[in-house]
């Protein structure tokens, strides 16, 4: 298996360009908060021979594959089995106080999508698992079997932004009374049957429901809500963070946190901004950047990406 063929890191050159100023020095620490199969990490280790990697992932299989891929750099690599909000504990365990560069490549990984038996993809019939860490926690089948109609509607609306959330929730409650919904193929059939003919051509009816279930099963937004502030705190002055988001919920959340971090805290009416109220961070890109048309054509998984980046200017006074 050639990982370079099956796993193409999204917006790699732009990530390198943005993080390079923080890494081009002896002893620099690069944290890959969503290591996956190690594509981004491998490139950074190759290009910055003085940098050390702390790689985080909740998926043991991803850590195994990344470990094999990064074996040539083993003396500069620390891999940690944890969710990406565990960055502070991971750095402490490695004896590191501050990170110089941090990358979060959010969402489901290529590895998880390509392993049909894990149930992430609605295009293939498989057990409804969807756990990024298959060693514990509830599955998507558990959610469908135990959540009430109101809770199902809530997660479909909130995490999938699904307009037919109520209709789909009712259909699932009715269907599970007849037999458990434990395979993706059956869930897709239920959703298709519940979709009005007038909107059946407006995208696959399972796309947003599967996204919502995946986010619920893995607690993705809750983890992100903890991860970004923890990463900002763990960053050294002059350090940089790049976040790649693939859905509007994630991107809006990152945008809000970055806006708060780059705002002055000076009280209104002061004629001069006091140093202790100056912004602790500055944005490195205007708005959110997208992959180029060429990259999106080469790598379809880059099409929805939104990149945001920030630099730390000072510690808290």
Residue set of the binding site for S-adenosyl-L-methionine: 38-40, 57, 84, 105, 112
* 169 within 8 A of 149, measured Cβ to Cβ: yes
Cβ within 8 Å of residue 146, ≥6 positions away: none
Contact predicate 248/110, CB 8 Å? no
Q: What angle do CA 199, 203, 204 make, to 5 degrees?
A: 100
Where are the extended beta strands (E) located within 4-157?
A: 29-32, 52-57, 77-81, 99-105
Distances (CA, A) of 236 to 29, 223, 312, 313: 10, 22, 7, 9
Which DSSP string corresponds to 47-70?
Answer: H-TT-EEEEEES-HHHHHHHHHHT
The half-sphere exposure of 175 on its side-chain side, counting CA atoms within 13 A, is 22
Rg, C-alpha atoms of the chain: 21
Q: Which residues are annotated as a binding site?
A: 38-40, 57, 84, 105, 112
């Amino acid at each position: 298996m050639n990982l370079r063929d099956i796993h193409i890191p999204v917006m790699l050159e732009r990530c390198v360009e943005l993080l390079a100023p923080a890494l081009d020095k002896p002893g620099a620490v690069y944290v890959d908060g969503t290591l996956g199969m190690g594509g981004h990490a491998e490139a950074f280790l190759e290009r910055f021979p003085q940098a050390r990697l702390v790689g985080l992932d909740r998926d043991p299989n991803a850590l195994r594959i990344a470990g094999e891929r990064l074996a040539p750099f083993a003396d500069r690599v620390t891999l940690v089995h944890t969710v990406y909000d565990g960055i502070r504990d991971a750095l402490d365990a490695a004896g590191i106080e501050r990170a110089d560069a941090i990358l979060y490549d959010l969402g489901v990984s290529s590895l998880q999508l390509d392993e049909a038996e894990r149930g992430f993809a609605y295009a293939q019939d498989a057990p409804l698992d969807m756990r990024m860490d298959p060693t514990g926690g509830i599955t998507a089948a558990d959610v469908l079997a135990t959540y009430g109609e109101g809770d199902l509607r809530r997660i479909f609306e909130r995490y999938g932004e699904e307009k037919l959330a109520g209709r789909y929730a009712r259909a699932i409650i009715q269907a599970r009374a007849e037999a458990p919904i434990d395979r993706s193929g059956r869930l897709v059939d239920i959703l298709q049957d519940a979709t009005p003919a007038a909107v059946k051509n407006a995208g696959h009816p399972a796309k947003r429901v599967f996204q919502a279930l995946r986010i619920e099963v893995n607690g993705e937004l809750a983890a992100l809500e903890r991860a970004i502030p923890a990463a900002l705190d763990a960053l050294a002055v002059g350090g940089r963070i790049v976040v790649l988001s693939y859905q509007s919920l994630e991107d809006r959340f990152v945008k809000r946190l970055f806006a708060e971090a780059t705002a002055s805290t000076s009280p209104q009416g002061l004629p001069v901004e006091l140093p202790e109220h100056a912004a602790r961070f500055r944005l490195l890109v205007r708005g959110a950047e997208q992959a180029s048309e060429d990259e999106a054509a080469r790598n379809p998984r880059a099409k929805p990406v939104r990149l945001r980046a920030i630099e730390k200017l000072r510690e808290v006074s």
